[in-house]
């Protein structure tokens, strides 16, 4: 259970740090293309919120289902020895 809590905190921390990097990239790209700070800021905010939520659930799915297929291979390899 403790490992589960650590994992959740780690996923949240990774989500936030990645979003900072991605948001700065989005803002810069939109500003360079359109030359509008308001548009760049607005798009960055919407994109950040949406993608942060999607990334968190993506990480949780990988944590929950990431071992599918691995256990069968591991058992087969240990039986061969």
Residue 78 has a pLDDT of 54
Residue 81, pLDDT > 80, answer no
Q: Rg of the Cα trace of the chain?
A: 19
Say which residue, 6 or 81, is predicted with more confidence: 6
14-67: pLDDT as tens digits: 878 988 899 999 999 999 999 999 999 999 999 988 987 898 898 889 888 888
DSSP letter for each residue of 17-37: HHHHHHHHHHHHHHHHHH--H
Instruction: Output the pTM of the full model.
Output: 0.57
Q: Which helix (H) or strand (E) holds 80?
A: helix 70-80
| Relative orientation angle of helices 2-34 and 37-65, to the nearest 10 degrees | 150
Count of domains forming the chain: 1
Residue 71, pLDDT > 80, answer no
* Domain enclosing residue 62, as ranges: 2-80
């Amino acid at each position: 259970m403790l490992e589960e809590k650590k994992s959740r905190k780690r996923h949240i921390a990774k989500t936030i740090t990645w979003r900072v990097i991605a948001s700065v990239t989005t803002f810069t790209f939109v500003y360079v293309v359109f030359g509008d700070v308001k548009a760049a800021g607005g798009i960055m905010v919407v994109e950040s919120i949406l993608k942060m939520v999607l990334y968190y659930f993506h990480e949780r799915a990988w944590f929950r289902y990431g071992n599918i297929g691995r256990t069968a291979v591991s058992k087969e390899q240990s039986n061969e020895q």
